[in-house]
Amino acid sequence: MTAKRLITPEDLYRMHWVNDPVVSPASGAIAYVHKSVKKEIDGYTSHIRLLHPDNHKDTPFTSGENDSSPAWSPDGSQLAFLRKKGDKPQVWTIPADGGEARPVTDLKYGVSAFKWSPDGMQLLVRSEVSESDGTDQDQNTSNANNSNDNNGINGNNGSKKLPEEAIYDRIKYKGDGIGLWNGRRAHLFLINLATEESKQITSGEFQVGSFDWSLDGSSVAYTASISSEQYPDPDLRLTNDAFILNVQDGSVRQLTEGTHSIYTVAYTPDGQSLLMLASDLSCGFATLARIHLIALADGQDQVLYTDMDVQLGHAAVSDMRASAGTPPLFSKDGTSVYLQLNQDGGVHIGRFALDGSSYELVLGGEREIYQFALTPEENIVFAAADPLQPGDLFAYSASLKQEQRLTNCNEELWNELNLSEPEVFTFQTGDGWTIQGWMMKPTEFTEGSKVPAVLEIHGGPQAMYAHTFMHEFQLLAAAGYAVIYTNPRGGHGYGQVHVNTVRGDYGGRDYQDLMEAVDYVLNTYSFVDASRLGVTGGSYGGFMTNWIVGHTDRFKAAVTQRSISNWISFYGVSDIGYNFTEDQIWGNPWDDLEKLWKHSPLAYVKEIKTPLLILHGEQDLRCPIEQAEQLFTALKRLGKDTQLIRFPGADHNLSRSGHPYLRVRRLSHIVRWFVEHIER
């Protein structure tokens, strides 16, 4: 037998990912998306594969290079999916028994999401609409409101296209991963599949978010944040509303009253209510989502399971995917809804009775169930990862209470690798809170040896480290480091009080939790060398890394990633800076300058003695690169040991879904910095 080897950053090029399982209502065939790195390592490729119902034989089903979002027709005769050619995804369909796929939409700005009508005759699609579509303006303009005077200055000068200024009159004029606002809004269209004609059914200065068909196809529900007397600027609203649109006459009725942030909507099977996952923002962005049933007749809001102290949906952190989660799925008899929930470092599936009487944990375990689907028999097909594998498909039989693995997409690579298995621990903080964490030994650990260790800190902070695979952690373990990671206060997995505690106290109790976690590890695991510690994290974890090295010298090296260093400037440069800073730090620059500075790591830069590597994407609009530049400039001016690495074209999701080559380079630099600065 060939000896196994240590994992490398370049192993990313050989990894495969599976997601978006959907089950045919007719045959039970499972369609899913298979994603991998292109051979040229200049991007990713994805296509749809089919698991056959009789023997689960796994075969390719579509041949595109960028196919995603599969959805079976109500009768199971066709599969619709998004195919991206260039930068505009369109809906295509393919017969269930195979054959040639054909496009069924040709919308100017492509399609971002779609749903079949209950009768299978139409598609409800979400697509962007430009404010200037009626003027035949170039659809690729990045201008929100181009200034075009009549003297030809902004027109063509011979064959030369002159640059144009961009004018914005809204505060939300940019978004991470999107760029500068292009003057377009997402709206709903109906696509007649027989004629392929499209009809726009929503319009206005708002964006459509979640949407759903009623079961009889007579109406459509959608969410949007719309200007009103109470909210004259919808960009400043943290709430949105649910609306019901009559498909026949186009009339619209507002169902809610601006009191909640609504994440997803779905008609209940009895057609009497709209189910919403929503937050009342009583704890700001840290508020747990609840199940709401809104009666369609009178708008009465019934909140279910208010005593359930866990976050619904998906909140786990992983460097294997940028987003995950499955919308509510209803039981066959229409009396229950299946939802994901986050608890104790696991992402599980629960079944909740719609009368509010009871709920049960259907699938749990020390893993991250990141997506799922129901079969016609109400069994579950789900995509799950654990600390030793990045994600595969599984089937759960409700009658037999048994699971079966359906895919093993990384089998060849994983047979080569020697990995480190995390050990879960819990500890009591000084003020009596219970905190969960994990310890990973070096992959080739020798009993009796003393090893260096790296503390990893997740972003959010309203997120959660989970029982899932992390390439970055495995690389550090392969390089000879123990890896410590934990869910301090401010994160999910425990309950509302826990996740809300960090608001207004960044760098306070959360910092103490992390330091006490390190103390616990040093007192519990005798092989960890207290004199050889490192620390790293991204986003909020980057903020906390910056904060830590400005408040203690116990770490010999640090790597800060896509971080925050200055709340004062962050307020105005981040795509969410104005509302996030007010919600999390409880202040703004004109009224609370001293408070924002007090919570800014840059204020403590003179105290930093730890060698600090700064990693940042140049197109990160969530934590813009000026945050890294300020910190780097100050450290260099003060003669500190630091280095700045800029990743061109990369946004805030570089570590999860960015350019594969840059992901590999990022991982390599993290390991390099610790090896160079921590004696082994």
DSSP state of 492: S
* 652 part of the active site: yes
Catalytic residue among 539, 563, 565, 655: 539
H helix runs in 79-233, sequence order: none
Question: CA-CA distances (angstroms) from residue 466 to 28, 328, 437, 536?
Answer: 31, 22, 9, 17
* 260 part of the active site: no
**In the block, residue with structure tokens 């991470």:** 176
Residue type, position 341, single letter: L
Catalytic residue among 260, 471, 599, 652: 652
Query: How far is residue 17's CA from residue 64's CA, in Å, rounded to a whole number?
Result: 16
The two three-digit tokens of residue 623, written as one number = 């934590």
3-state class (DSSP) for residue 591: coil
Query: How far is residue 164's CA from residue 178's CA, in Å, rounded to a whole number?
Result: 20
Query: How far is residue 87's CA from residue 179's CA, in Å, rounded to a whole number?
Result: 14
Strand 5-6 to 301-304 pairing: unpaired
Query: How far is residue 678's CA from residue 680's CA, in Å, rounded to a whole number?
Result: 6
3-state class (DSSP) for residue 466: coil
Query: How far is residue 336's CA from residue 359's CA, in Å, rounded to a whole number?
Result: 9
Residue type, position 219, single letter: S
The two three-digit tokens of residue 504, written as one number = 């207004």
3-state class (DSSP) for residue 135: helix
Question: CA-CA distances (angstroms) from residue 456 to 119, 440, 600?
Answer: 50, 11, 20
| Distinct helix (H) and strand (E) counts, the chain | 11, 43
Residues 392 and 405: beta-carbon distance below 8 Å: yes
Report the Cα 561 to chain-centroid distance in Å.
17
Query: How far is residue 398's CA from residue 419's CA, in Å, rounded to a whole number?
Result: 33
Residue 502: CB atoms within 10 Å: 24
The residues that are catalytic are 539, 652
